[in-house]
Amino acid sequence: MMMNGIGVSPGIAIGRAHVLQKQEAALTGIVLLNAADILIEIEKFNNAAAVSITEVETMISNYDTSQGSEGFDILETHIELLSDPQIKDDVTEKISKDRKNVNDAVIEVIRDAMQLFKNMDDEYLSARAADVQDIGDRLLKNLTTTDKTSTQQYKPDTIIITEDLTPSDTISMDIKHVIGFATQAGGKTSHAAIIAKSRGIPAVAGCGPQLKNIQDGDILILHGQTGQVMVNPGQDIIDQYIIQRDAYLAQASLLRSIKDKPAITTDGTAIKLFANIGDAADMEHALGFGAEGSGLLRTELLFMGRDALPTEEDQFEFYKAVALKAKGKPVIVRTLDIGGDKQLPYFNFPAEQNPFLGYRAIRICLDRKDIFITQLKAILRAGAFGKLKVMFPMISNIQEIRAAKVILQEAMDELEKTDVPFDKTIKIGIMIEIPSAALTADLLAKEVDFFSIGTNDLCQYTLAVDRMNEKIKDLYDPYNPGVLRLIAYVIEQGHKHRIEVGMCGEVASDPKATLLLLGMGLTEFSMSAASIPQIKNIIINNSLETAKQVHQRVMEMDSSQAITAYLQEINA
């Protein structure tokens, strides 16, 4: 039998199923008759809250941060929720006004709070309902039991099968014996998934009700990347997966061992490896993978998860949080890059024949100076709390850079009139993602402090291939010699004019491209955090000299087929 879910934490687990049945908390319907009972019930709640806080504090002090800080942060959130006056007030009101007993009051308050989170559009925030449920379960447990040592002991090589896991379940999991888990519910952003990933436990979520067919003791193979769960497979399949599992473990341990090593080629060229991020949590996560900063903060994520434009203050807090999490490491903040596939529900985009060639990114910002200047002021102010740089997207000509710089100067002039601190010497850069910008890199380099090559758009505009269109996806090919020539030219011109050149498009995270890009002279790569160790491994095992030869060979080839075949071969 084979089941399919979503792979949420990589690795392969081979073991026996342990099916966890969750007890649903039930309402009792008991009504309190006198005032003395009300006081007793409120007192019971206060005690349960205090015991719960102590339990979570103990979990925090026992937390092994070598397994990542995600679980730690989640537990701190639980302390905040358990101490939240709103929850306490709501429970107290249900007891004193509605005369409900404490059990029913807690169930109802938690249920309402969970609903509030679940209704949020943002996937991450709506997944936080699991935290509310988690503290609710804890409160209910502490209302009914005094047993505080209920951590279960499992047999070796156990794979947990359950409807859903709360963050606490996952954190307190006995990872000596639990080697994986599969859940009916949940997805990539559930806390259980995040913690599993940071602890290196393979996990599959969202398997649906089919998971109920698994019995205690069934032999399982769980694949944390593909999301497959195989039930009672034959010995030949088990043997095959043991080989895959061991190869994965060897690779993972190698990558872990180089996390804190600098990315320097064997002949001494230092390379900067940055992460592409969407918010402060991503920044923190990225440091765990050895990122030396961020080469791209996509600020549109802040604009997307809401129903109105964020204010200067909202944005300031958001960028400041990122700057603080980066702990002095550089962060390139890209100004609003909306339009094309990135729509805002509250922003009236005109109907266009070709949105990717239309009113978008810097074009909107130069047209809607009110939006642009607000964002620039927020970035400048947050720059006082870390090393932020500002970057303009979708630049197609020199006038756009000059116009953007005039507005940046206006933003500084406005801030100068106040006494708020801001970064007066912020570095200014542009994305090179439109062919005209790449071809005039020599001219544009004189206007800015740095370039960042956006291969995702550069590829689509150079090849006239819509990056979102499945039907022509084979034509979307960054190894097309035309695209590679543009990239090489931008890097060359950047160096010639002594400005920094990085790359934040997806090609930066493709191991096939690493030597080629190094050979072209690229020294800053920005990518999804999880890709950093793999790219670093290539850098520290090769010389710049070899990379230059690879570049030379590639430039002599006439098709992307020949280029990719060659790059694959040298990487094998």
User: Which positions are catalytic?
Assistant: 191, 504
Q: How far apart are CA 179 and CA 224, in angstroms?
A: 11
- Write down the least CB distance from residue 295 to ligand PEP, Å: 9
- Write down the least CB distance from residue 393 to Mg ion, Å: 6
> Are 293 and 330 spatial neighbours (Cβ–Cβ below 8 Å)?
yes
| Choice between 491 and 504, CB closer to ligand PEP | 504
| Choice between 167 and 502, CB closer to ligand PEP | 502
- 504: partner contacted, choices ligand PEP, Mg ion, none (Cβ within 5-8 A by kind): ligand PEP
Q: Interacting stretch for ligand PEP, rule CB under 6 A, among 58-66, 254-262, 453-461, 516-524?
A: 453-461
Residue 178's contacts (CB-CB under 8 Å, 6 or more residues apart) are 154, 158, 159, 160, 201
Place of tokens 């850098």: 539
Q: Which of residues 93-122 bind ligand PEP (CB under 6 A)?
A: none
Residue of the chain from 455, 480, 514, 531 that contacts ligand PEP (CB under 6 A) = 455
| Choice between 11 and 429, CB closer to ligand PEP | 429
- Write down the least CB distance from residue 303 to ligand PEP, Å: 13
Q: How far apart are CA 185 and CA 193, in angstroms?
A: 11
- 298: partner contacted, choices ligand PEP, Mg ion, none (Cβ within 5-8 A by kind): ligand PEP
Q: Does 423 bind ligand PEP (CB under 6 A)?
A: no
Q: How many helices (H) and strands (E) does the chain have?
A: 23, 16
Residue 358's contacts (CB-CB under 8 Å, 6 or more residues apart) are 339, 340, 350, 352
Q: Does 454 bind ligand PEP (CB under 6 A)?
A: yes
Q: Which of residues 323-352 bind ligand PEP (CB under 6 A)?
A: 337
- Write down the least CB distance from residue 558 to ligand PEP, Å: 25
Q: How far apart are CA 45 and CA 106, in angstroms?
A: 8
Which residues sit at the interface with Mg ion, rule CB under 5 A? 433, 454, 457
> Are 95 and 42 spatial neighbours (Cβ–Cβ below 8 Å)?
yes
Q: Which tokens sit at 305? A: 């998860």
Residue of the chain from 90, 279, 433, 524 that contacts ligand PEP (CB under 6 A) = 433
Q: Does 477 bind ligand PEP (CB under 6 A)?
A: no
- Which amino acid is located at 519 in the chain? G
Q: How far apart are CA 208 and CA 3, in angstroms?
A: 9
- Write down the least CB distance from residue 504 to Mg ion, Å: 9
> Phi and psi of 24, rounded to 5°?
-75, 130
Query: What's the start-to-end Cα distance of the chain, in Å?
Result: 34
Q: Give SS3 for 327.
A: coil
Q: Does 457 bind ligand PEP (CB under 6 A)?
A: yes
Strand ranges of the sheet holding 228-231, from the earlier edge strand across to the other edge: 2-4, 228-231, 219-223, 12-19, 158-162, 178-183, 203-205, 6-9
Write the interaction track for ligand PEP spanning residues 288-327; mark x where CB under 6 A is met and - where it is not.
--------x-x-----------------------------
Residue of the chain from 505, 529, 550, 567 that contacts ligand PEP (CB under 6 A) = 505
| Choice between 374 and 455, CB closer to ligand PEP | 455
Residue of the chain from 396, 456, 543, 564 that contacts ligand PEP (CB under 6 A) = 456
- Write down the least CB distance from residue 325 to ligand PEP, Å: 21
- 505: partner contacted, choices Mg ion, ligand PEP, none (Cβ within 5-8 A by kind): ligand PEP
Which residue, 511, 538, 509, 530, is CA-closest to 9? 530
- 455: partner contacted, choices ligand PEP, Mg ion, none (Cβ within 5-8 A by kind): ligand PEP
| Choice between 290 and 505, CB closer to ligand PEP | 505
Which residue, 265, 292, 225, 246, is CA-closest to 532? 292
Burial category of 456 from C-beta neighbours within 10 Å (exposed 0-12, middle 13-18, buried 19 and up): middle
Residue 328's contacts (CB-CB under 8 Å, 6 or more residues apart) are 386, 387
- Write down the least CB distance from residue 452 to Mg ion, Å: 10
- Write down the least CB distance from residue 447 to ligand PEP, Å: 20
Q: Does 510 bind ligand PEP (CB under 6 A)?
A: no
Q: Interacting stretch for ligand PEP, rule CB under 6 A, among 115-123, 153-161, 283-291, 452-460?
A: 452-460
Q: Does 504 bind ligand PEP (CB under 6 A)?
A: yes
Give exposure, 266-278, as e/b (b: 16+ Cβ within 10 Å). Answer: eeebebbbbbbbb
| Choice between 104 and 457, CB closer to Mg ion | 457
- 18: partner contacted, choices Mg ion, ligand PEP, none (Cβ within 5-8 A by kind): none
Question: Residues 356, 362, 366, 370: is their CA dihedral positive or negative?
Answer: positive
Q: What are the beta bridge partners of residue 453?
A: 432, 503
Which residues here bind ligand PEP, judged by CB under 6 A? 296, 298, 337, 433, 454-457, 504-505
